[in-house]
Each structure stands twice: as structure tokens, then as C-alpha cells.
Amino acid sequence: MTERTTDLATIFRGIEQAGTIDAYVDGQLRERGFLVERRATDDMSQRELARYKKELKQEAAEKRKLRAVAWKAYKTQNIVFLGEGVFWNDALDWDKWDLENAEARAAENELPPLDKPQQLAEALQLTISQLRWLAYHRDVATSIHYRRFTIPKRDGSERAIWSPRPTLKAAQRWVLRNIVERLTVHGATHGFLAGRSIASNAAAHTDSQMIVKMDLKDFFPTVTYPRVRGIFRHAGYREQIATLLALLCTEAPREIVEEDGQTLYVSLGPRCLPQGAPTSPALTNVICVKMDRRISGLAQKLGWRYTRYADDMTFSLPSNTGKAKTKQDANPAPLIGWVKRIVADEGFRVHPDKTRVIRKGGRQAVTGLIVNGTGAPRVPRKTRRMLRAAMHNLSKGIPLRDDETLATLQGYIAFIAQTDPEQAQRLKEQLA
């Protein structure tokens, strides 16, 4: 039997008509004359018994062939299995955790209607086999859909980035544009949103008598596969689609191991949002809606302003506007204590070593921009001086320092463009 796509599609239609793979195989055996009627062997002669056994062997051989091709045809239209530890049932069309009004919720969020895996595969321009391949989970894998590299942190350590390979990245970008970006986020969020930036985040904290900065520890790894699946369920998708979308957007943290000349990618924990996937930042914004709402309400009640950019939370106490603040009002301890409780309540953790309090006399920087005084946020003077010096040296033929490249200079210019586009344009022309 051939196994071309058209043949497999025909076979799958036969399976659907028969009801099950076994029923389809039995029907094919009957049509081809291989189905043997079972008979008692007690009264058979040796010749009859030998012939009967031969017929049974021929039936068994043909059955194996038919079943193998039928199973292959079935897998072209069904997910079947997604790896150890992942619940999947092709026949499941509802689940007790699904929203009762799931389709109405999806329509309310203006999400594409996706009721079956085949619809998701078509939307992603993939076959069912390719979709299963992208979503499949293995604790120990010989290859994965991510490329690992590191970038330096400010403290000198390295941050691991897992960048999705092209096929998965294309699927994640579709999920980002068509689903995640349409979900509700809180107004205090400024990271990875159209029309918002580090500049809009910093602008909310100008003219402050005190700034408190707090970081969320292990932000992306804390958002695990079940939490991501919950996002898609709450958005209006049922069990099967929510499971596939969550698997496409998560991956287990892995260690790369060499064993007997083979590279293995060994899972170190549960699947979570990988730092490097285009969907990860936007999904954190969605999952933090309740936390942002609670913290924003707390801050407002205590007289503080609040914004969040990814895992950086910033609070500021506005300068006096006619009414003097008491020492109790300006004490950040109650705010910090309550924020830690809310953060823990919402499944995150405040980094114990990265809470900073900056008073009016100090250098108040928010997402890298200076916000002291009533003026607009601005790039630190040190950065501007460094950039001008490097460009002056270039104009004189003096080579850049070891830690400077044209790419880093272009990055600094892009940084300046956040707050001063005209100056950035002049610097860009000068560098060119």
C-alpha cells in the first residue's frame, strides 16, 4: 500500500466511516479476502490444520500492514499523544474546567474561533503532524526547538536566552498577534505594549520625593505551563486548544549534556515561559493583571504611584503639593510589606536583594532614565558623554574601546531616541 498524503486522507475517511481503526482494518481484511473464519481445530486433519494456520498467519501479516498504515493515516488528523506528563484525549470535546460560556468569551475578546486541533494547525499553516512535533514534550531530548545563548547581566553573571527556531517562532508570533495581544492588561503595565516604553514608564514617576524599586525574582520561570494553559482557558478556549497553545509557548529549563558523543537536552524542571520567545513578555502582562490591580489599588490608597515594566515594579511618592507629608506618610515600610504579601499571593516572589529606596536628594532612575525634578525623563549624563566621546574618537580615526562596537553605539542612540528623537536622529546621521 502506498502512503502518499492523498492515500492517507482516503484511508482516514475510511476510518471515520468505520468508526474505529480496528473496524476499518477488519473491513479491509474482509474485502481483500484475508479475514479467516475462526473454527475449532480438534477434528481437523494435519493437512487442514496446516492450511488453517497458514491462512491465520497471512491474515496476521496483512493485519499488521493495514493497521500500521491506518494508524499513520489516523495520526495525520489527530494529535494522539503529546509526551509524558501531558494529558491528551483526541475524543475529548469538553472538560469540567472549561468555561461554560467559552465561545462567547473568545468572541468577546475578538479571538479567532478555534474548536479543534485541525483549525489551529490550519491557522498556523501547519499539518497536524507538524503541530504535534512543535508541542511535544520530552524530559530528555536529542533536539529541541530552541537555540541557547547568553547575554551579560549588570551584576556580571550571565542570563540564558532560549531563542525559538524559525518554525516555532512563526507559530508563536501568530499566537502573539492573534490571541495574546488581544487580552486585557492593566494600565500600570508599560513593558512590551504598543505605545508604551521605558520612557512612558519613567514619566509616571517624575517629581518624586521618594522612589521605591522592587524586582520579581525568577519572573519567567515562575509562569509555568499550567498557568499559561489557564490564561488561554480564561480567554475562551477549551481544553484541547488551551493545551496546545500553552505547549507552544512554554519549554522546560534544560541542561545541555554530552554523553557517548551525543548531545542531550535534559529537563531541569516544569515547562515555563522561556526568556527569548516572542510570546513570553506579553503572557506575563496578562497573568499579572490581578496582581497589578491589587498593587495599584494599595499604592493609590497609601498615596503612591505604581507602574510595572516586566519584572521591575516602581513606586513613587509625589512631591508635596501644598500639603506637607508626615513622616508616617513618607515611610515606605508599610508599602513594601503589603506588596510582598500580594506578590506572594499571586504566585511570585520579590527579589530579596533588589529592593531600593531613593529619596529626593539621590539620583532617581527608573528603567534607566533620570526622573529627578519636574522635567521629562532623560538619559543619564554619563551615557550621553560616553557616546559623544566615542563618536568624537571615531571621527579622529581613534579606534573604539574593547567594550565598544558600532552596534553598542547604535543601541545607545536608540536608547536616547526614547526621550529625545531629534538628538537621536542627529547622532544617527553623525555616526553614519
Reported as a single tens digit per residue, the pLDDT across 131-175 is 999 999 999 999 999 999 888 776 777 888 899 999 999 999 999
* 18 in a structural domain: yes
Q: How many domains does the chain have?
A: 4
Q: Are residues 173 and 195 in the same domain?
A: no
Radius of gyration (Cα) for the chain, nearest Å? 30
- pLDDT tens track for 28-86: 999 999 999 999 999 899 999 999 999 999 999 999 999 999 999 999 999 999 999 99
Task: Please determine, for residue 2, whether its predicted confidence score (pLDDT) is greater than 60.
Answer: no
Answer whether 170's CB lies under 8 Å from 123's CB. no
Co-location of 338 and 191 in the same domain: yes
The band of 329, judged by pLDDT with boundaries at 50, 70 and 90, is low
Mean pLDDT value across the chain: 91
- Range of weakest confidence among 89-93, 160-164, 187-191: 89-93
Same domain, 360 and 297: yes
What is the pLDDT, as a whole number, of residue 94?
75
86 is a domain residue: no
* Pair 174, 315 in one domain: no
**Same domain as 405, residue 335:** no
Residue 1: the pLDDT is 44
Q: Domain check: are 11 and 144 in the same one? A: no
Q: Look up the pTM and report it.
A: 0.87
The span from the CA of 301 to the CA of 147, in Å, is 45
Q: Are residues 178 and 165 in the same domain?
A: yes
Give pLDDT, residue 26. 93
Asked whether residue 93 is domain-assigned, the answer is: no
Residues 103-116 pLDDT 10s = 899 999 999 999 99
Q: Would you state the pLDDT for residue 367? A: 94
pLDDT digits (tens, 9 = 90+) for 49-60: 999 999 999 999
Identify the domain containing residue 107 by its residue range. 101-182+224-272
pLDDT of residue 349 exceeding 90:
yes
**What is the pLDDT, as a whole number, of residue 398?**
82
Q: What is the pLDDT of residue 326?
A: 55
Query: pLDDT at residue 356 above 80?
Result: yes
Q: Considering the chain, what percentage of its residues have pLDDT values greater than 90?
A: 72
- Mean pLDDT, to the nearest integer, of 216-240? 96
CATH of the domain at 209: 3.30.70.270
Residues 248 and 156 in one domain: yes
Give backbone dihedrals phi and psi of 304, rounded to 5 degrees, phi first: -105, 160
- Mean pLDDT for 261-290 is 96
Q: Examine the fold and report which residue of 44, 77, 110 is the final residue of a domain before the chain moves on.
A: 77
Rounded mean pLDDT of 205-213? 96
